[in-house]
Amino acid sequence: MSRHDPAMQVLGVLALELSGEAEPARAALDASLAGQLATRVGHDLGRLVPGVCGLDLVLAAAHFDPAELLRPGWPVHRRLDELRARAPGAAAPRIIAFGADEGGDVPLPFQADPLLAGGRLRVLPYLLHGDAAAARAVAEEMETSLLDLGMAQAETALLAQEAFGARIEHARYLTVHDLLAMTALQYSNQGLEPLWEILETALLAPSSDAWLDAPPEPLLRQHAGAVRMALLSPADWRARNAAHDEDEARLARGFAMFEARQRQFAAVLQAHDIPLEFVHVAPGQDAADALR
3-state helix, strand, coil in the chain (%, to 5): 50, 20, 35
Q: 168-175 and 121-129 as β-strands: parallel, antiparallel, unpaired?
A: unpaired
Phi/psi region, residue 58 (left: phi>0; alpha: psi -120 to 50; beta: rest), is: beta
Query: What is the tens place of the pLDDT at every residue in 224-252?
Result: 999 999 999 999 999 999 988 899 999 99
Question: How many residues would you count in the chain?
Answer: 292
Q: Is the pLDDT of residue 76 over 90?
A: yes
Query: What is the tens place of the pLDDT at every residue in 45-66?
Result: 999 999 999 999 999 999 999 9
User: With bands split at pLDDT 50, 70 and 90, how would you rate the model's confidence at 218?
Assistant: very high
pLDDT score of 91: 72
Query: At residue 146, what are phi and psi to the nearest 5 degrees?
Result: -65, -40
pLDDT score of 153: 97
Q: Is the dihedral of CA 186, 192, 194, 197 positive or negative?
A: negative
